[in-house]
Amino acid sequence: MGNISSCITAQPNTAKLIDLHRGTVREFALPTTAADLMLEEPGRLVSPVSDLRRDRRFSAIKADEILVGGGVYVLIPVSRVNGKVSDSEMAALESFCSERRSKRRSSKVLPVVAERVLGEESLNHRVKKHWKPALEPIHEGI
């Protein structure tokens, strides 16, 4: 009755565009297509950063493709399509994206702290339990 809206997550209505040549990051409003960005930057194509991390190559997306909210894209020259990403370029991309990833990290508990709080016995509690079958084997007689 009222819960349908609560189970739908809101998708961001902006995306980031990284220009490695100028060393800038620009945030733009969605919905927009790759063609809109390519018209603003002639001689350049749009490549998703997620593909760069996976393939280590620049890949251009289609001009009529609508960009995804929360996505990170990079501008590349036309001559660099299907070319390899250098280590320095990858490091620059990671530094631009690190602010975004740092927000998603959660805190972690060190084992030393857990021992002090829970005690050593409770940490090893699961290791001591062994599985024992409850049923006995069935013997069939001929």
Identify whether 109 is part of a domain. Answer: no
Identify whether 75 is part of a domain. Answer: yes
Domain count, the chain: 1
Identify whether 15 is part of a domain. Answer: yes
Give the range of the structural domain holding residue 26, as residue numbers without chain letter.
5-104
Q: What is the pTM of this model?
A: 0.63
pLDDT tier, 10 (very low <50, low <70, confident <90, very high otherwise): low
Residue 78: give its domain's CATH number. 3.10.20.30
Residue-wise pLDDT for 33-79, tens only, equals 999 999 999 999 999 998 888 889 999 999 999 999 889 999 999 99
Q: Which pLDDT belongs to residue 77?
A: 92
Supply the DSSP string of the chain, one letter for each residue.
---TGGGSPPPPSEEEEEETTTTEEEEEESS-BHHHHHHHSTTEEEEEHHHHHHHSB--PPPTTPBPPTT-EEEEEEGGGTTPBPPHHHHHHHHHHHHHHHHHH------HHHHHHHH-HHHHTHHHH-----SSPPPPPP-
